[in-house]
Amino acid sequence: MRAIVAIIKPHKLDDVTEAVRDAGVQGMTITEVRGHGRQRGHTEIYRGAEYEVEFLPKLRLDIVVDDGDADKVTDAIVAAGRTGKIGDGKIWIGPLDTVVRIRTNERGSEAI
């Protein structure tokens, strides 16, 4: 099993969720987060004084998939979440020991 974490632009949420569902994903978790990449943040002006907004608002998707589905789902997120401009976000993927469905106590792939 694999854990896919995707940081995306907030306004891309609908496109991305639709794409990953089409790719066969059943469930996912999203979180409102703030962060920056290579470009860092930017400055804003409030009443004439500048202030730095270093961490920009993003959404984080947590998705758990079977090993065989990881590439398909990742491609779907990239295709749907991409605008081509700075700040589109990032995806990272890692191995996962196990998954448990709390209601039934199922373990492993059954629980996805």
Shorter beta-carbon distance to other proteins: residue 57 or 108: 57
Q: Which two three-digit tokens encode residue 45?
A: 């002006």
Interface contacts to other proteins, rule CB under 8 A: 34, 44-55
Shorter beta-carbon distance to other proteins: residue 52 or 106: 52
> What angle (nearest 5°) sits at the alpha carbon of residue 44, between those of residues 42 and 45?
155
Cβ of residue 101: shortest distance to other proteins, in angstroms? 29
Shorter beta-carbon distance to other proteins: residue 53 or 79: 53
Cβ of residue 40: shortest distance to other proteins, in angstroms? 13
Cβ of residue 26: shortest distance to other proteins, in angstroms? 30
Q: Measured between alpha carbons, how far is 13 from 73 in angstroms, rounded to an integer?
A: 15
Q: Which two three-digit tokens encode residue 39?
A: 């470009």
Q: What is the largest CA-CA distance in the chain?
A: 58
